[in-house]
Amino acid sequence: MNLRDIKKEIEYLVGSVIDDCDLYVSMFPQKKEEANKIMDEAIDLYNDLLDRANNPDKTSAKTIKEHYRNVHKDLYEGVNSLCEKLSAVAGKPEEK
């Protein structure tokens, strides 16, 4: 996997989480604050992963490959965590 593909995947997956949060807020405006916290976490994840993808340790080819594997792994773990948080918010009963 090359750098361009990693960046596209970061943008697509994190963007999907942000889109899901935005859609959830449009359907349930009373839970806007909780969804906005998840969106903020998604933006932080995006910035962190993009920064890490753009600045690998260039001491050897092996360390670069390992670095990108870790970025890729952290991307999927982070997106999964954000989706679980959004599901937890969506699963809560509405407060009246």
pLDDT category, 21, cuts 50, 70, 90?
very high
Tokens 């989480």 locate to: 17
- pLDDT at position 27: 94
Quick: pLDDT tens for 28-80.
999 999 999 999 999 999 999 999 999 988 888 889 999 999 999 999 999 99
Contact 21, 38 (CB under 8 A): yes
Tell me what pLDDT residue 96 has: 56
Q: Evaluate if pTM is beyond 0.85.
A: yes
What's the pLDDT score for residue 68? 93
Q: What is the pLDDT of residues 41-55, one digit of tens each?
A: 999 999 999 999 999
Answer yes or no: are the C-beta atoms of 41 and 83 closer than 8 Å.
no
Distance CA 19, CA 79 (A): 13
Taking a C-beta distance cutoff of 8 angstroms, is the pair 56, 68 a contact? yes
